[in-house]
């Protein structure tokens, strides 16, 4: 997919416990397609790519925790083992369990900064998706969270090619739309320029309603005669998002034990 909605991406081995939040519902008279919550500034815990000596750009890529953002898919055997244990005090044992993946949606934070005051132009964003059969399993949810604002885009991974469906170019913006279909925030458009004093913190949200998808993205950049690509690829492994359609779902019940939630 060539240049998509956007304007003027290294992963930690385990999911991080910060930043992304998700709420869907009604705020006053505004029906939100979704509100994505993100901190501002560069991610301090993300793996960094400084580039070669003299590179005009550096970046970091970090996969957010799905604890409050979405569900966590576990393959059947792992899910049965989890259900046989008490609910853990935090979500880390679930997100780090064998075969765990984000269910329904996943969020990746990409922090991009120029090496000087000289502007670096990001010319677009291209998504690549591998689809495979979903194994048997279940989804685990933990209700929590609350929104802040940020620059973000959502990509529909089921589409071929993948399609950006929502975006916000504003630091205090929100993904979503008014009842009449107008966007809540100015959408992201490429090209987008960055520098040392004008970095970009971008959240990429991958949605999978039907597929077992592993995705990567590339953000080409140019600065004078220098060109390159920011790889959003989880160190080559890609980011996996699993459809939660027709799967058993579990959450924490009022007594603190696992309970079926759908």
Distance CA 99, CA 94 (A): 10
Per-residue pLDDT tens for 195-224?
999 999 999 999 999 999 999 999 999 999
Calculate what percentage of the chain has a pLDDT beyond 90.
Answer: 62
Does any domain span residue 244? yes
Residues contacting 64, CB < 8 A, separation 6+: 15, 16, 18, 19, 20, 106, 107, 108, 109, 203
pLDDT at 135 over 90: yes
> pLDDT at position 53, please?
58
* Average pLDDT over all residues of the chain: 80
Distance CA 49, CA 57 (A): 9
> pLDDT at position 102, please?
94
In the numeric block, the tokens 């959003």 are attached to 232
> pLDDT at position 149, please?
61
Decide the pairing of beta strands 152-156 and 200-207.
Answer: parallel
Nearest Cα neighbor of 109 from 51, 69, 156, 160 is 69
Name the pLDDT band for 2 (thresholds 50, 70, 90). Answer: very low
Which structural domain range is residue 153 located in? 21-260
- Tokens in use for 45? 């815990």
Per-residue pLDDT tens for 153-194?
999 999 999 999 999 999 988 887 778 878 888 999 999 999
> pLDDT at position 52, please?
52
> pLDDT at position 138, please?
97
CA quadruple 27, 23, 43, 106: dihedral positive or negative? negative
> pLDDT at position 42, please?
32
Does any domain span residue 95? yes
The structure's pTM equals: 0.78
Higher pLDDT, 229 or 65: 229
> pLDDT at position 158, please?
95
pLDDT at 139 over 50: yes
Does any domain span residue 15? no
> pLDDT at position 103, please?
95
Does any domain span residue 148? yes
Domains held by the chain: number: 1
Does any domain span residue 10? no
pLDDT at 35 over 80: no
Does any domain span residue 3? no
> pLDDT at position 21, please?
29
- Tokens in use for 32? 């939100």
Higher pLDDT, 2 or 23: 2
């Amino acid at each position: 997919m060539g240049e998509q909605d956007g304007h003027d991406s290294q992963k930690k081995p385990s999911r991080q416990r910060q930043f992304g939040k998700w709420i869907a519902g009604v705020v006053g008279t505004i029906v939100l397609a979704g509100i994505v919550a993100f901190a501002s500034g560069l991610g301090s815990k993300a793996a960094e790519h400084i580039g070669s000596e003299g590179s005009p750009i550096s970046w970091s890529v970090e996969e957010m925790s799905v604890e409050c953002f979405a569900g966590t898919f576990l393959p059947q055997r792992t899910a049965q083992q989890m259900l046989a244990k008490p609910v853990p005090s935090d979500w880390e044992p679930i997100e780090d369990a064998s075969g765990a993946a984000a269910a329904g949606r996943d969020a990746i934070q990409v922090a991009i900064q120029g090496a000087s005051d000289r502007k670096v132009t990001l010319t677009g964003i291209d998504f690549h998706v591998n689809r495979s059969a979903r194994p048997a399993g279940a989804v685990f949810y933990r209700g929590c969270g609350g929104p802040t604002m940020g620059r973000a885009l959502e990509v529909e991974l089921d589409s071929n090619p993948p399609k950006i469906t929502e975006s916000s170019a504003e630091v205090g913006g929100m993904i979503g739309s008014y009842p009449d279909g107008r966007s809540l925030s100015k959408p992201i458009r490429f090209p987008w320029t960055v520098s040392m004093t004008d970095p970009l913190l971008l959240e990429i949200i991958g949605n999978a309603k039907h597929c077992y998808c592993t995705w990567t993205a590339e953000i080409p950049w140019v600065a004078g005669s220098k060109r390159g690509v920011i790889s959003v690829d989880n160190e080559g492994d890609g980011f996996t998002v699993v459809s939660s359609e027709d799967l058993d779902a579990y959450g924490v019940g009022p007594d603190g034990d696992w309970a079926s939630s759908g």
